[in-house]
Structure 1
C-alpha cells in the first residue's frame, strides 16, 4: 500500500480528525473486515451498519471515497459510454418524511425510495435506515429499456456490513479498536 494511503488510514482511524480524506479506486471499501471499511465506519460512529462494495464483478465500479466527521460518501461509475454515476452516502440521519417504507428491505433495515424524475431520466434516492445511521443512494440514469436493470445492479453492488463484526474482527486481527 502506498505511504499516502497509509497516512490517510492512520488519520481516519484516529477519529476522522482530518477535514476530508479522498481515496482512489484501489482503496474500495469491500464488504469484508479491513481498514478500508473501518475508515467509512469511523465517519459515523453510531451506525450499526456500514456501506461497502459487495461485488466487484458488477458493471458499477467504485470510483472515489470522501470521508469526514459525520459523513462518508462513495462515488460509483457505470462501465459504459454514457458515464453514469451514483453516490452512496452514510450519515447518522436522513429525511424520509412523507415516504412509505418499501417491502423487501434487508434485515434490520427500513428502506424508502424517493423518485425525482421518471422521464426523460430515471433519477432518485434510496434511503436505507437502521440503528444509528442511514445510507442514501442517489442515482440518475438515462431512461431506457435497461434503466431498471441498471438500478438493480447498483443496488446489488452496495452492501451493508455489520459494524459489530467489523469491530470484533479488526480487534482480533490487527489490534485496532473501532
Structure 2
C-alpha cells in the first residue's frame, strides 16, 4: 500500500494522515461476497466515479456526474445490466440513486464486481453518507457528512481502497474507467 491509498481499518478509514470514522455492512467483512448478504467485500477496490445530487450539493469535481430523478442501479443478478447504472422505468430489481434522505447526496463508486459483473457476487459497493454513527450499511462504507465531503474533496479516479488489509488477487492497474 502507498500513502495515497485509502485503507479501511477496524477504527475507520485511513487516508492522507487522517482517520475517518465509518460503518461497514451489517454482515461484516467477507472474502466471498454474495448479493444480499449485507457484507462489505475485502480486497483492493478502485474509485471509478462520483455521483452527486445537483439540487442539494454543488458539483464536487469536473468528472462527477449528477444524479437525476430517473437514475437507478440494477441489483438483479439475472439481468444483463446487473451492477450498472440504469434509468427508470426499469422492471428488474434496482436501487434508486435519488433518495428522499441524504444518504446518496454524494456517492463514490468503486469497481467491485465491475465492469464485467459476475451474477450474484454483489453490486453497488459505494462510499456514501451514514444514517447515524454505528448504523451498518447493506455492504457499502458510510461516513459522517463532513468526513464524506472532505474525502470527496481529495478524490481522484483510480484511487485505491484497501478493505481487509490484503490484496486477494491481482487487479488491472490501468486508468480507471467511468461507468
TM-score of the pair, normalised by structure 2: 0.34
Q: Choose 1 or 2 for highest CA Rg.
A: 1
Structure with the larger RCO, 1 or 2 (CA within 8 Å, 6+ apart): 2
Q: Kindly indicate which of the two structures has a greater share of residues assigned to helix.
A: 1
Q: Kindly indicate which of the two structures has a greater share of residues assigned to strand.
A: 1
TM-score of the pair, normalised by structure 1: 0.34
